[in-house]
Structure 1
Amino acid sequence: MYTPPAFREDDPAILRQMIREVRLATLVTATAEGLLATPLPLYLDETEGPHGVLYGHVAKANPQWRLQPLAEALVIFSGPDAYVTPSWYASKQEHGKVVPTWNYAAVHAYGAVEFFEDETRLREAVTRLTDLHEQPRAEPWSVADAPDAFVRAQLKGIVGMRLPITRLEGKRKMSQNRPMADREGVAAGLGASALDKDRQVATMIPTDSN
C-alpha cells in the first residue's frame, strides 16, 4: 500500500483498533492459478504472536483454501471513506488550484495463511466470531442455542482460517496534508452529509475542534 509519511499510521494500538472496527475484511492470496479474494468477517486474537492472529472461515466449496499460496497472504481492512469536493476548501476561493480527492482509512495485514478442518478448532472459531458480533445485542444468540447435531453438520461445510500477522501497514488519509482552513471546511462539509459514513469521516479529520 502506497503510504506517504503524512498519512502513515504505525501505532500498534491504533492499527489493532482499526482492524477491530472493520466488520468485513478481504482475504487475498496469490496462487499458481492467479489472485483469489474472499470477503470475510474475521476476529483478531491479540494474545497470540507479536502482532496477533486473525481467525475466520471460508466455505468448503471455495477453491481459495485448496490452492497453495505462492507467498504471504494479504488481508485488507477498509475503514470509513468519503469523497472530498474541492468546493469545501477555503483555498478554492484564494487561488482555485484544488482538485477532488478521497479520504479513507485502511490496514493491510500480511502473514502465512493456514486452513484447517478440525471440528474442535472450527467450533471455537465460529463461536468466538459469533459472540463478537452478538455481544452488543440485548439478547445475544449463541452457537449453543442451535441443536448440536445441526451445528456439527454446518461445520462440515466450512474450513477454518488462521493467519499469524507478520507485519501491518496502516493508512489514515484524512486531509492532514491540507491547511487547517481546508480541513475545517472538509470536516464541516462531511459533517452535514446525509450519509453516516461521511459524518464518521468528518470526526476523523484533524482540526482545531478535535
Structure 2
Amino acid sequence: MPDAQLYVPRFNVMDADDVRPFVASVATAQLVTVGDDGLPDATFLPVLWEGDRLVGHLARANAHWRRVVDGSPALAVVTGPDAYVSPGWYASKAEHGRVVPTWNYSVVHLRGAVHVHDDAEWVRGLVTRLTEAHESSRPAPWAVADAPEDYIDKNLRPIVGVELVVSSVEAKAKLSQNRSDEDRAGVASGLAADGRSPDGLVAP
C-alpha cells in the first residue's frame, strides 16, 4: 500500500521557512494513534516542536495514552485558522460568473514513532518548557517555580508525557493563491465584513 500523504496541490505548498513558526504559533495538535485492536484514538494537546521531536502531555485519566503501542506510527495534525470563502467575494464573479465556493485553511501533518513518558521528571521538564514558551513574552511571566513544590508535584501526577519522533512533515496553506490579486482582495474584504481578520487566511 502507498504511504499516507497530505494532499497538497503545487499552489498550496506552505513555504518551508514558515512551517516551524506556524506550528509554534498554533502550539496545539490532534495526536492520532492506532491501538493493538486497530481502532484509532485522537487527543487534542498542547505541543512543542523541539528538533526532531514533537512533545506534549495527556491527562492520565484519558485512556488514549494506555492504548499507545510504543514506537508505533502516529500522526499529529496542527491546524490554523480556517474560513468559508464565498464566490460572491471574487471580482471575477462580475466578469464571467465561473466561480464556486471554497474553504481556506492551513494545516501541518507530522508523522513518526510515538512514545509515552510516564516519568515525573520528564513531565516536569516538558511543563516547564511549555510554560516558558507561553509566559516569556508577558510583562510578569509566571514560572513553575512560583508555585509551592508540593503543589506542582500534585498537579503533575494527573498528566502523562508523549513524544512523536518526527520522520516526515507535510504542510499545506490553501489561501486563494490560485486566484488573481483582485479576487484575493475581494476575499480579504469579505472576511473582514464577516468579522474575520484575513491574516493567515488569504495569501499576501
- Uncovered stretches (5+) of structure 2, i.e. residues with no partner: 1-5
Deviation at 1:180, TM superposition (A): 2.6
The secondary structure found in structure 1 opposite 2:184 is helix
User: 1:6-17 to 2 correspondence within 5 Å?
Assistant: 6-9=11-14, 11=16, 13-17=17-21
Task: Output the amino acid matched with 1:159.
Answer: V
Q: What fraction of aligned residue pairs are identical, expressed as a percent?
A: 45
User: Retained in 1: the 8 A contact 2:72–2:114?
Assistant: no
Match of residue 34 from structure 2: 30
User: 1:186-197 to 2 correspondence within 5 Å?
Assistant: 186-195=187-196
The secondary structure found in structure 1 opposite 2:177 is coil
Paired with 2:126 and 2:85, the residues of 1 have a C-alpha distance of: 39
Paired with 1:113 and 1:10, the residues of 2 have a C-alpha distance of: 26
Cα deviation, 1:150-169, whole Å, max 9, x if unaligned, reads 21122221111111111100
User: Retained in 2: the 8 A contact 1:86–1:100?
Assistant: yes
Paired with 1:44 and 1:130, the residues of 2 have a C-alpha distance of: 14
Paired with 1:178 and 1:199, the residues of 2 have a C-alpha distance of: 15
Match of residue 3 from structure 2: none
Match of residue 179 from structure 2: 178
Deviation at 1:201, TM superposition (A): 3.3
TM-score (norm 2): 0.89
User: Retained in 2: the 8 A contact 1:193–1:199?
Assistant: no
Deviation at 1:133, TM superposition (A): 0.9
- Give the paired residue count: 197
User: Retained in 1: the 8 A contact 2:68–2:116?
Assistant: no
Deviation at 1:192, TM superposition (A): 4.1
Paired with 2:173 and 2:135, the residues of 1 have a C-alpha distance of: 28
User: 1:1-210 to 2 correspondence within 5 Å?
Assistant: 1-9=6-14, 11=16, 13-31=17-35, 32=37, 34-46=39-51, 52-69=52-69, 71-195=72-196, 198-201=197-200, 204-206=202-204
User: Retained in 2: the 8 A contact 1:7–1:171?
Assistant: yes
Deviation at 1:75, TM superposition (A): 0.6
User: Retained in 2: the 8 A contact 1:192–1:199?
Assistant: no
TM-score (norm 1): 0.87
The secondary structure found in structure 1 opposite 2:126 is helix
Paired with 2:76 and 2:82, the residues of 1 have a C-alpha distance of: 18
Cα deviation, 1:143-193, whole Å, max 9, x if unaligned, reads 111111121122221111111111100000011112232122112322444
Give the root-mean-square deviation of aligned CA atoms: 1.7
Task: Output the amino acid matched with 2:115.
Answer: E
Cα deviation, 1:25-75, whole Å, max 9, x if unaligned, reads 1111122251111110111113xxxxx211111111111111134941111
* More divergent stretch after superposition (26-35 vs 13-22): 26-35
Paired with 2:68 and 2:189, the residues of 1 have a C-alpha distance of: 48
Task: Output the amino acid matched with 1:21.
Answer: S
- Uncovered stretches (5+) of structure 1, i.e. residues with no partner: 47-51
Deviation at 1:88, TM superposition (A): 1.0
